[in-house]
Amino acid sequence: MSVTADRERGVLSGVPTGLLVGGSWREAGDGASIDVEDPSTGAVLTSVQDATATDAAAALDAAAAAGPAWARTPARERAEVLRRAFDLVTARAEDLALIITLEMGKPLAESRAEVAYGAEFLRWFSEEAPRIAGRYGQAPAGGGRILTMKQPVGPCLMITPWNFPLAMGTRKVAPAVAAGCTMVVKPAAQTPLSMLALASIMEEAGLPAGVLDVVTTSSPGEVVGPLLRDPRLRKLTFTGSTPVGRTLVEQSSQQLLRLSMELGGNAPFLVFDDADVGAAVEGAMAAKMRNAGQACTAANRVYVQRGVAEEFCEGLAEQIGSLVVGRGTQGGVQVGPLVDDRARSGVAARVDEALEDGARVVVGGEALGSQGYFYAPTLVRDVPAGSRLLTDETFGPVAPVVVFDEEAEAVALANDAEHGLVGYLFTEGLDRGLRVAESLETGMVGLNTGVVSDAAAPFGGVKASGYGREGGAEGIEEYLETKYVRVASR
């Protein structure tokens, strides 16, 4: 699909491509731009502005200037902006889904699901804004009262990844707006259009100028670095890879910024002998193949107990083998391309390495097509311990399966990982389900389900998957400070 064809469909023509600074859409200071590619063809869809550090400083100026008035805006007004944004996103779901599919590659059905999921954060936090409250108590020793109040953290920097370009934005923007914070958002250079479209919707919903500023850039380190050293910035919230997260934590230590780090995952997926094997296969498909495996929640290490290993692998191979791979805009397609050539080469290299070490491919195992960055949905068995396919986060449609015998062995394998975002387990035993859920070193657990994401639930990890929670009642706390007031009682 060419840009012209998209324009004819009335989609890309409506998406802003400028920087949003203080309520104005403008060009980058040096006039440079970044091409946005369709990963299913490699064709350029459009280009957006390539911000410099000076542009980013202007965005922080705007966010800082808008801060005091926005913090004083009544919670009900902030909530209503979010609620209108929810309605607008929902009404424009088809346009937004097409933008996501074009710039990121996932099938339209998945993009629609992302729009619905992303919109839920707007609705959920519109409901949370009026419920921000402190507490009142008597000092236990007498002579005083303890009051606490919640106040917005202040200007935030938000850095988002390309894999869920809309939902990873609303998951940060909505609680910040609800809490009364202002923000500078830097979306991933591969997928800036979804965030720009969202920013335009937030404006239309009545968000005052400067509260949400957006800078797109091809030089994130150079552009973000000075912001992290600026004393007006109070918080950094980052969703992305663990190595970049570590660098940002170091850089933000000078200003002792409040931090939320939603980093990589390498989720274990455990299937026990007493599982409903059909449900486990369905769960594995959802947890592994959604977004072509490019999800922080993707099931990257599948551990199956010996008694059901053959039945499970046969079922999974059949389903993986029947997936329709293709351009996300085409009807019936279930798996799109990987985001770029580098991503695909990385996945292919890991599979090849595992095969050299003795693993065997049951289905898939190769790059596909002559254009775009497609990789066949793949099931690999007999993956040796220590293979990078197990130790590192693989962002692709590859399910490595390992057989285990004992529950304790499965838990040890699951926890033998740097990351700790989510773990999945399938068992019909209630006691085992809860026992293993308690034992997993992860921030989230899917018990007999392959999908955990929910705007009403706290999303986040432990270990190298970071800290902080997005969504749920916890999500707004990331954007609030607690102030304690001691009141003398006489």
Q: How far is the CB of 358 from ligand NAD (least distance, A)?
A: 27
Describe the crossing of helices 407-415 and 430-439 by its angle, rounded to 10 degrees. Answer: 30
Which of 146, 189, 367, 447 binds ligand NAD (CB under 6 A)? It is 189
Q: Assess 268 for contact with ligand NAD (CB under 6 A).
A: no
Structural contact between residues 289 and 327, judged by C-beta atoms closer than 8 angstroms: no
If binding is defined by CB under 6 A, does position 442 make contact with ligand NAD? Answer: no
Nearest Cα neighbor of 238 from 360, 218, 367, 247 is 247
Q: Which is nearer to ligand NAD, 18 or 346 (CB)?
A: 346
In the numeric block, which tokens belong to residue 365? 């195992």
- Give the rounded distance of the alpha carbon of 110 from its chain centre: 14
Residue 104: which residues within 8 A CB-CB, separation 6 or more?
Answer: 39, 111, 162, 163, 165, 190, 191, 194, 336, 339
User: At closest approach, how far in Å is the CB of 248 from ligand NAD?
Assistant: 6
Binding residue for ligand NAD (CB under 6 A) from 239, 291, 329, 442? 239
Compute the least distance from the CB of residue 224 to ligand NAD, in Å.
Answer: 4
List of E strands, 18-160: 19-21, 24-26, 33-37, 44-49, 135-138, 144-152, 156-159
Among 37, 262, 477, 478, which residue sits at the site for ligand NAD (rule: CB under 6 A)?
A: 262
Exactly one of 160, 182, 387, 439 binds ligand NAD (CB under 6 A); that residue is 160
State yes or no: residue 284 binds ligand NAD (CB under 6 A). Answer: no
Looking at residue 384, the DSSP 8-state letter turns out to be P
CB 338, CB 344: distance < 8 Å: yes
**Residue 107 touches ligand NAD, criterion: CB under 6 A:** no
Nearest CB to ligand NAD, comparing residues 119 and 317 = 119
> Interaction with ligand NAD in 400-429: which residues (CB under 6 A)?
421
Q: Does 137 bind ligand NAD (CB under 6 A)?
A: no
What Cα–Cα distance (Å) separates residue 396 from each residue in 59, 172, 296, 366? 35, 25, 11, 12
**Given 240, 268, 326, 420, the residue binding ligand NAD (CB under 6 A):** 240
Per-position x/- string for 161-180, each x denoting binding to ligand NAD as judged by CB under 6 A, each - no binding = xxxx---x------------
Helix, strand or coil, per DSSP, at residue 302: strand
**Could you tell me how many residues of this chain bind ligand NAD (CB under 6 A)?**
28
Edge-to-edge strands, sheet with 360-363: 360-363, 378-381, 398-404, 299-305, 267-271, 422-426, 444-447
464 binds ligand NAD (CB under 6 A): no
Contact region with ligand NAD (CB under 6 A), list: 47-55, 133-141, 155-163, 203-211: 155-163
Residue span binding ligand NAD (CB under 6 A) among the ranges 25-33, 70-78, 186-194, 278-286: 186-194
Question: Is 184 in a helix, a strand, or coil?
Answer: strand
Name which of 75 and 286 has its Cβ closer to ligand NAD: 286
The nearer residue to ligand NAD, 160 or 439, going by C-beta atoms, is 160
If residue 342 lies in a helix (H) or strand (E), which one and from where to where?
A: helix 341-356
Q: Name the token pair of 184.
A: 């500078």
| Residue 255 interacts with ligand NAD (CB under 6 A): yes or no | no
Q: Where are the beta strands (DSSP E) in 153-242?
A: 156-159, 183-186, 212-214, 235-239
- Cα dist. 200→14, 294, 346, 408, 461 in Å? 10, 27, 35, 51, 31
Which residue stretch of 10-18, 159-167, 198-206, 482-490 sits at the interface with ligand NAD (rule: CB under 6 A)? 159-167
Q: Catalytic residue numbers?
A: 262, 296
Contact 239, 262 (CB under 8 A): yes
Nearer to ligand NAD, 237 or 387 (CB): 237
Binders of ligand NAD among residues 357 to 396 (CB under 6 A) are 393
Q: Which stretch binds ligand NAD (CB under 6 A): 2-10, 17-25, 257-265, 313-321?
A: 257-265
Q: Which of 19, 21, 102, 263 binds ligand NAD (CB under 6 A)?
A: 263
* Residue 249 interacting with ligand NAD (CB under 6 A): no
- Residues pairing with 425 in the sheet: 270, 447
State yes or no: residue 439 binds ligand NAD (CB under 6 A).
Answer: no
Q: Which residue sits closest to ligand NAD, CB atoms considered?
A: 240
Contact 158, 186 (CB under 8 A): yes
Q: Which stretch binds ligand NAD (CB under 6 A): 146-154, 158-166, 278-286, 325-333?
A: 158-166
Residues that bind ligand NAD (CB under 6 A): 159-164, 168, 186, 188-189, 220-221, 224, 239-241, 244, 247-248, 262-265, 296, 393, 421, 461, 465
